Amino acid sequence: MNFNEKLKYIQHKNNSLLCIGLDIDIQKIPKHLLKTENPQLEFNKVIIEATKDLVCAYKLNLAFYEEHGIKGFETVQKTLELIPEGVITIADGKRGDIGNSAEKQASAIFNTQNFSAATVNPYMGYDAVEPFIKQPEKGAFVLNITSNPGSKDFQYLKVNGKPLYQLVTMKCKKWNVNNNIGLVVGATRAIELQKIRSIVSDMPFLIPGVGAQKGDLEASVRYGCCHDGTLAIINIGRSIIYSSMQKIFSSKVREAAKHYQLQINYYREKYFSKQ
Amino acid sequence: MNFNEKLKYIQHKNNSLLCIGLDIDIQKIPKHLLKTENPQLEFNKVIIEATKDLVCAYKLNLAFYEEHGIKGFETVQKTLELIPEGVITIADGKRGDIGNSAEKQASAIFNTQNFSAATVNPYMGYDAVEPFIKQPEKGAFVLNITSNPGSKDFQYLKVNGKPLYQLVTMKCKKWNVNNNIGLVVGATRAIELQKIRSIVSDMPFLIPGVGAQKGDLEASVRYGCCHDGTLAIINIGRSIIYSSMQKIFSSKVREAAKHYQLQINYYREKYFSKQ
């Protein structure tokens, strides 16, 4: 199966478009875990155990682990081992470099760490993305329009009447010969999301920004999905993982994840039901 | 001292604009090192010992280490410990992310690993760069125009008659309130380099692409330096570090580094001599 087929498969199997962002800030986790040998890992264990049947993917922002040095690197490895086969694992590192260096970046993420997908920055062009899409079963999510305030600095600049972000969309469409490129589209950008979906009907979108960043969940589902109500990956981090500071927090986390899964499925039903 | 002052200081002290790229591919290093416990580190030891008085900086492309997992992370740490105080150390990872994630990226590079500078991708705008420039003594080199073929995909697109890369230059000029932003400008782009230097007279340029990528060394010095013949950082990797496959390779490496140092200083004399 190529990456997009793998994604569709797990979205059907778990009936979920939810991706949980495991961007673990140890300042924010229940305090009793700080006494354990590896608080990030112990926290991830609980989150994954509580939610693994409710998600299509987990996304790890690598910087949250890199900050902890060697131990952080180990935590990434051990966290990946806890995630069930078939669930998509996204290395969120915003990589991309000249050809021979991008080869090493992709190898670090796909071979050394065994993630199933990576986020990639388009600024350096095709040869910065290409090493990430060589293996059809591995996916590359290219930054298209991001959820942060700084997205206005360059992504909206007009080139021959079209904003730069749309040119990125069109290039990615052209590059997608292995059917394993996806786009990162912020949930705070509903209008742009609709526009981008109109350009690429069948590419997966990784949609961060719902929850703490106040992105629009309904629009994310409505415009993020392709015609059959799949291929949107709705990433939610802080609003799920930090649901409780209590010693026993797994049920609260499961409840929050379940809430988002159902909410997403409610909108899928509303906009993509066959009847 | 802020970052730019630190850079000028070491460029004067070692009379050098040379940066050596420690992007170590173990396929390319002398074979006897493969029998040691940590070939990358043993190789770096020899390179640094042979060249540390001839350079202003070392640049480590992080992906070449990340590919080796936990061991690679250790190698970065131990390599940094071998580099003399005052010599600039650049973490070449092309980072940049939304604010809270970029904070973690910067913390990983500047606090956990103790590099003095990082390379940053501008696509996500100001809040993706800002965490890298908060500490005035640490530097951020923002990708401006890159040396690879893919640079044509987006960096030259015209926005109101100006190519995107020039808008990146102008934004960085505006953001440079702490005098610690530099720009990455490929040595294969002599005309653009001249243009960029005309926009920012006093920012450091990190110039990769001389050597294996066949960039123009004379133009890199002529247009890369500011008025006093400093602030260009000429990065050379493969043409120096892989000078010899012999068991004793340090003298060949030193010779190659010395050759570039002198060549660069010859052009500095030609274009920036006071007489």
pLDDT digits (tens, 9 = 90+) for A158-175: 999 999 999 999 999 999
Exposure b/e, A114-141, CB count within 10 A at least 16 = b? ebbbbbbbbbbbbbbbbbbbebbebbbb
- CA–CA separation, B257 vs B22, rounded Å? 13
Using pLDDT thresholds of 50, 70 and 90, give the confidence band for residue A213. Answer: confident
Q: Is A111 on the interface with B (CB under 8 A)?
A: yes
Nearest CA in chain B to A147: B98
- Percent of chain B residues past pLDDT 70, beyond the cut: 100
Are B133 and B105 a contacting pair, CB within 8 Å? Answer: no
CB pair distance less than 8 Å for A63 and B125: no
Tokens of B121: 């991708």
Residues whose CB is less than 8 angstroms from the CB of residue A231 and which lie 6 or more positions away in sequence, other chains included: A4, A7, A8, A11, A202, A203, A204, A205, A224, A225
Are B66 and B93 a contacting pair, CB within 8 Å? Answer: no
Mean pLDDT of B209-225: 90
Catalytic residue at A71? no
What is the reported pLDDT for A275? 53
pLDDT tens, residue by residue, B121-147:
999 999 999 999 999 999 999 999 999
- CA–CA separation, B167 vs B170, rounded Å? 5
Using pLDDT thresholds of 50, 70 and 90, give the confidence band for residue A215. Answer: confident
pTM of the model: 0.97
What is the reported pLDDT for B275? 53
Asked if the model's pLDDT at residue A76 lies above 90, the reply is yes
Are A89 and A81 a contacting pair, CB within 8 Å? Answer: no
Using pLDDT thresholds of 50, 70 and 90, give the confidence band for residue B112. Answer: very high
Asked if the model's pLDDT at residue A212 lies above 80, the reply is no
CB pair distance less than 8 Å for A104 and B171: no
What is the reported pLDDT for B214? 78
Are B21 and B65 a contacting pair, CB within 8 Å? Answer: no
CB pair distance less than 8 Å for A143 and B122: no
Count of other CB atoms within 10 angstroms of residue A73: 22
Taking CA B181 as the corner, what is the angle to CA B137 and CA A164, rounded to the nearest 5 degrees? 145
Q: Is A81 on the interface with B (CB under 8 A)?
A: no
The domain made up of A3-272 is a member of CATH 3.20.20.70: yes
List helix spans (H) across chain B: 3-13, 39-51, 63-66, 69-82, 99-106, 126-129, 151-154, 164-175, 190-199, 217-224, 238-241, 250-272
Please give, one letter per residue, the 3-state secondary structure of A76-112: HHHHHHHCCCCCEEEEEEEECCCHHHHHHHHHHHHHH
pLDDT tens, residue by residue, B148-195:
999 999 999 999 999 999 999 999 999 999 999 999 999 999 999 999
- CA–CA separation, B96 vs A67, rounded Å? 14
How far is residue B15 from each of residues B12, B46, B57, B272, measured CA to CA in Å? 5, 21, 12, 14
pLDDT tens, residue by residue, A100-111:
999 999 999 999
ipTM score of the complex?
0.96
- Percent of chain A residues past pLDDT 70, beyond the cut: 100
Smallest Cα distance from B269 to chain A, Å = 32
Q: Which amino acid is at A255?
A: E
Tokens of B236: 């050379």
pLDDT tens, residue by residue, B50-87:
999 999 999 999 999 999 999 999 999 999 999 999 99
CB pair distance less than 8 Å for B61 and A101: yes
DSSP character string of A213-236: T---HHHHHHHHS-TTS-SEEEEE
